Structure 1
Amino acid sequence: MLYRSLKGQQQQQPVGGGTAAAGSTPFLEEVSLHDVRLDPDGDVAYGRAQQTNLEYLLLLDVDRLVWSFRSQAGLPAPGTPYGGWEKPDSELRGHFVGHYLSATAKMWASTHNGTLAGRMSAVVDALDECQRAGGTGYLSAFPAEFFDRFEAIKPVWAPYYTIHKIMQGLLDQHVVAGNGKALRMLVAMADYFAGRVRNVIQRYSIERHWTSLNEETGGMNDVLYQLYTITHDQRHLVLAHLFDKPCFLGLLAVQADSLSNFHANTHIPVVIGGQMRYEVTGDPLYKEIATFFMDTVNSSHAYATGGTSVSEFWSNPKRLAEALTTETEESCTTYNMLKLAGFAPSVQMDEGDRVRGLLRASADQRRAEHPEGQGPRSDDLHAAPGPREIQGEELPWLGNSVRIVLVLLWHWDRIVLQAGRFHLLRGER
């Protein structure tokens, strides 16, 4: 692996004014996607995969992507919506669009494709119209009533999971692609949800808020800490804290391996947010939490191929032979473990080897080197022989389920970065 090291003994102060940890390890930074180019005609599969992903992104229709957002906002919605998880009666509708915003921002940074730039800007503009039509800052493809149910601890399918994807997509459009409008929209969303969380706490209790988080909320703490580094608005920092899920991070703080039976991809993003809290505030506890978590997963809950989870959950530690099925190593968890590895506290060869192994496993899950496809893309890496259950959905060309396409969109940007042989690693801070 190649790294770009900042020269000298620079100590970068946390945004929140905390004291950075002292250390002699040089600070290392990620090489920008703008500085990495892959040859789509070369021998390396990653270049061909990037080209396939670019072609797929260019196939997606703006009106169809934002159809449910426009309908929710009471605006004219020409065309027809996509199917799969984006179909109008799916409670997770809209999260694909968040992934699209992130994927296009990073793909544009990697290729500077002008057509793609126009498409992603058109999606941001359409979403801006939807948000302004509502007048509250709320932006989603489903009604705010979903959050009434969430806050009342009534059945609803993970609305904050979708909101996180939309917010992260807008943040990536601003940070990676330089779209100022996306930042304004993101701030409006953060302010809206700050009001909702404050209302729950004032009307009921902080315990009621924590209880409501016993649901998949994505990386809400992570995206809000990232937003705080841009706005320096204390309200965004406080809101990020309120999504830190102490009932889970607390177990890691006392270094208890209690991961069994937890839903893996619900909780890895919470740890990523905790690590971002360290990056922002300098609080060493959250660095220790992330380090312990990484060590625990990799030593006790990871398969030889590098991934983790079985049927989306963690099983008993060091008993993975009992959990060899056709639904192991969900690719969402692989991506998020790669993201967490990007905050590695020191440069170590075993960490680099682990990252490369995860990338290879992720590439095997994708197998999308050619537009015509050479086998299906699946959410899971199959550790035991058995049938692959692939859903057919109403999406153009590649044709598999929205979730599988989401995996394609959400993962290849990081594979692109690794293919350039650069990876995010930080030293002691």
Structure 2
Amino acid sequence: MLLLELCLLACLLSAPALGKECTNAVTQSHTLRYQLWATKNETWKAEMRQAIPLDGYHLNPNESSTWVDSSRDGFQWAALYRGTKSTQGDPAVGGNFLREVSLHDVRLDPDSRHGRAQQTNLEYLLMLDVDRLAWSFRRQAGLPAPGQPYGGWESPDMELRGHFVGHYMSASAKMWASTHNDTLHQKMTAVVDALSVCQKKMGNGYLSAFPTEFFDRFESLKYVWAPYYTIHKIMAGLLDQYTHAGNSQALQMVTWMAGYFGNRVRNVIAKYTIERHWSSLNEETGGMNDVLYNLYSITGDPKHLLLAHLFDKPCFLGYLAVQSDNLSGFHANTHIPIVVGAQRRFEVTGDELYKKIGMYFMDIVNSSHSYATGGTSVNEHWYHVTYSDGPRK
């Protein structure tokens, strides 16, 4: 196992040809995808299916055919990858950053606009039912699932089911830190407890509201809807329950999850190649690198650091490393979290290159890829630097 990890690290730091594939139209809008899933208007659905070819609609490239011939791109991919290799950084640099004021030390005036908004949010979080939130997780674990599941994103036939629960854990942890509401604390702790029972029932660290078969498809570069996007939300929610609410059980759970997915990624690389793993990142993976850097900052476990590196998408970060504005056509929702994770890499490791990547990204987004309203994308995608209003109808 140690030898395999050393081989993986060597590939990350030295192999010049890795991550050579990237696509400028990876991930269709989740909004549009949901509308197609939910609509009963078969005529409109058929029209949209014709307008968006199925071989390029939120699909991963398959083994016999890829969307993009990288040889047609103007950049030499090996050079881009070398630009993202880890440089010598000083982990102690993190001690020089300003620290956020703890939410436990901030209270809002209840009569202010922000105080009223906070109260509205608190009331919403208190409305949510533990059994309904845990329903699909329990079914997945083969446990009794009392009550009824929520619909929408948490519907039992929704491939992204479970990610709202991750958001709930993050929101409730931060809300509790801001209010110390006892009822909310009991409810969010009950959700973590329920998910812990599910994880222990499965017994290998896996925790999700959908089956592991989704990752079998992901690793085979077959059609599946962004399973790591959901896993990121669950892991981030558990980590927030630890960092903001002191729930040590949540930290144990997210650490166990990291071990499970670390094994999956290592197995893909051992069975195929690391390049095959990079190809799978053409699907939306949320902020997996970010949450793993955050986990590493707590545990200090080098396995967590290595796994975080393996979710730094080289073919996208490579453009930013050589300061090339090539955002046009990329799916913003996929790639913004990757840059957030890259910035976190700098904060955790002191690697100056990733500071430069983050600063360059913010510079081009704020200067040439933003609208007067403050937004940066249309239908979740960036458009050409010189005519951002092109998509207007």
Both structures adopt the same fold (TM-score exceeding 0.5):
yes
Give the Å deviation of 1:27: 4.1
Provide the secondary structure at the position in 2 that maps to 1:304: coil
**Counterpart for residue 58 of structure 1:** 126
How do 1:204-219 residues align onto structure 2 when only pairs under 5 Å count? 204-219=272-287
Within-5 A mapping of 1:175-324: 175-324=243-392
Task: Say yes or no: does 1:120 pair with 2:188.
Answer: yes
Check if 1:32 corresponds to 2:108.
no
- Name the SS for the 1:29 alignment partner: coil
| Structure 1: stretches of 5+ with no match in the other structure | 1-15, 326-429
1:77 matches 2:148: no
Larger relative helix fraction? 2
Deviation at 1:33, TM superposition (A): 1.0
Shift of 1:324: 3.9
Distance 2:165 2:391 in 1: 34
Q: Tell me the CA shift for residue 306 of structure 1.
A: 1.6
Aligned-partner residue type, residue 175 of structure 2? M
* Paired amino acid for 1:282: G
TM-score (norm. length: structure 2): 0.76
Alpha-carbon distance in 2 for matches of 1:256, 1:64:
46
Report the CA distance shift for 1:201/1:284 in structure 2 as closer, same or farther (over 3 A).
same
Q: Does 1:168 pair with 2:230? A: no
1:111 paired residue among 144, 160, 179:
179
Partner deviation per Cα, 1:69-99 (whole Å, 9 max, x = no partner): 0000000000000000100000000000000
1:142 alignment partner in structure 2: 210
Q: Would the aligned equivalents of 1:146 and 1:159 in 2 still touch at CA under 8 Å? A: yes
Residue 90 (structure 2) aligned to one of 11, 14, 19: 19
Contact 2:88/2:351 (<8 A) preserved: no
Aligned partner letter, 2:244: V
SS in 2 for 1:237: helix
- 1:422 is aligned to none
In the alignment, the residues of structure 2 paired with residue 265 and residue 163 of structure 1 have an alpha-carbon distance, to the nearest angstrom, of 16
1:323, distance to aligned residue in structure 2 (A): 3.4
1:288-309, CA deviations, whole angstroms, 9 ceiling, x for partnerless residues? Answer: 0000000000001011222210
- Unpaired runs of at least 5, structure 2: 1-86
Q: TM-score, normalised by structure 1?
A: 0.70
Give how far 1:21 is off.
9.1
SS across alignment from 1:176: helix
RMSD of aligned Cα (Å):
1.7
Question: Using the alignment, how far apart are the partners of 1:50 and 1:230 within structure 2?
Answer: 29
Distance (whole Å) between structure 1 residues aligned to residue 165 and residue 92 of structure 2 = 38
The size of the alignment, in residue pairs, is 306
Q: Report the CA distance between 1:41 and its aligned residue.
A: 2.1
Q: In structure 1, what is the Cα distance between the partners aligned to 2:149 and 2:329? A: 36
CA contact (8 A) 1:21 1:284 kept: no
Shift of 1:28: 2.2
Q: What residue number does 1:89 align with?
A: 157
Distance in 2 (alpha carbons) for counterparts of 1:209 and 1:20 = 27
SS of aligned partner of 1:186 = helix
Partners in 2 of 1:160 and 1:321 — Cα distance? 32
Q: Report the residue type matching 2:368 in the other structure.
A: S
Identity of paired residues, percent?
72
1-structure distance, mates of 2:351, 2:324: 20
1:321 is paired with a residue of what secondary structure? coil
CA drift of 1:17 comes to 9.5
Q: Distance in 1 between matches of 2:91 and 2:128?
A: 44
